[in-house]
Amino acid sequence: MKINVKLHSRLERYSKTNSKIEKVVINEPIKVQCLMEYYKFSPGEVGVIIVNGKLEKADTMLYDNDSVEFHPIFGGG
């Protein structure tokens, strides 16, 4: 199975391939949380998770050819 991953903004530093969209190969369906562990994001660093164009949570299951986007916590004020 292949998962397409796009890292945004400062999360790009976790890229394994330095390309805009990475293809992660996995053997079976996994949760987004497993993919976050694969990238070794710092706790609380991911603010928004988009799976196939929809806002999702870390416990969402991923399947073959899914697309995942990780956005950092947004600040402002």
What is the assigned CATH class of domain 2-72?
Answer: alpha beta
Give me the residue spans of the domains in the chain: 2-72
The answer to whether the CB of 41 falls within 8 A of the CB of 16 is: no
pLDDT over threshold 90, residue 20: no
pTM for this entry: 0.93
Average pLDDT over residues 63-77: 89
d(C-alpha 68, C-alpha 62), whole Å: 9
- Which pLDDT value is given to residue 19? 85
Quick one: tokens of 35?
């993919």
CA distances, 47 to each of 31, 43, 58, 66 (Å): 16, 10, 10, 19
d(C-alpha 41, C-alpha 72), whole Å: 10
